[in-house]
Structure 1
Amino acid sequence: MKQTERGFTMLELLVVLVILGLLAGLVGPQFFGRVDGSKVQTAETQVKMLKMALQTYRLDVGQYPSELTHLASAPSSAGSLWRGPYLDDVIPLDPWNKSYQYRVDANAPQGFYLYSHGADGKEGGDELNADVGYTPSQSE
């Protein structure tokens, strides 16, 4: 009795690979779009967290700090008024691994500007590349 081994032909394997490639092409962009959108939400949440820390600092010291690092370690100008640290961890980077932009400005609606340049790391932009937070362009 002769046994023949059955397996997949090269054509069948190629058809399966093409189908998998098409599925990845359809699902992949939607998945990565959600990842980018979650980075924007993370930046918005971090800006709100930093805003609360800045406001607490201002209540204690009487003015906003000149640098974000003063939320973690006392500046000499704060003297005994500093009751920090005002953050549990180090100052976070934005979700794109860049530093948040921070500047005290009495003309700003919040009293300061605090924002991320978004995915492209450049000022301005649209959609995922848009600045996130309290930006100078919001007050113009």
Structure 2
Amino acid sequence: MFTDSDRALFDRRLYGLITVTPAGTRLPAPRPVWFEATDDGELQMFSLAGSLKVRRLAADPQASFVVATPPGEPEAWVSVEADATVHDDGGRELADRLTDRYWDDEDKRAESKAVWAAEDLVRIVLHPRRVTRGPAV
């Protein structure tokens, strides 16, 4: 479902924005996340097990996700509508891997890994249903 161009964008050190179904009368509000694309054509990220987004995914296991090039580059983005699953396994390993990807500074890496080691982490996997990309040409 992902093109080579999509994967090239996913492989960059960019924040993705995940949006889950809000509760009550709240409007959807994207949240920035570290993420990676899997070889199976899915996207994954980690979260605190007790976070609001994890609780909301338990109630309604679907999400949207977008990643875009930063300012100063030609516009490119990928948007994903997905079913979501939350996994008790692999959260800490993913957090460690993404910490290595997102932090250049060794001290920041060590600090982040120490924080993640003390937390109960889960892995959120997005199983794409629909992928759109832009800009339209």
TM-score (normalised: structure 2):
0.23
Q: Which has the higher helix share?
A: 1
More strand by share: 2
Which protein shows a greater Rg?
1
Q: Relative contact order, CA 8 A, sep 6+: which one is greater?
A: 2
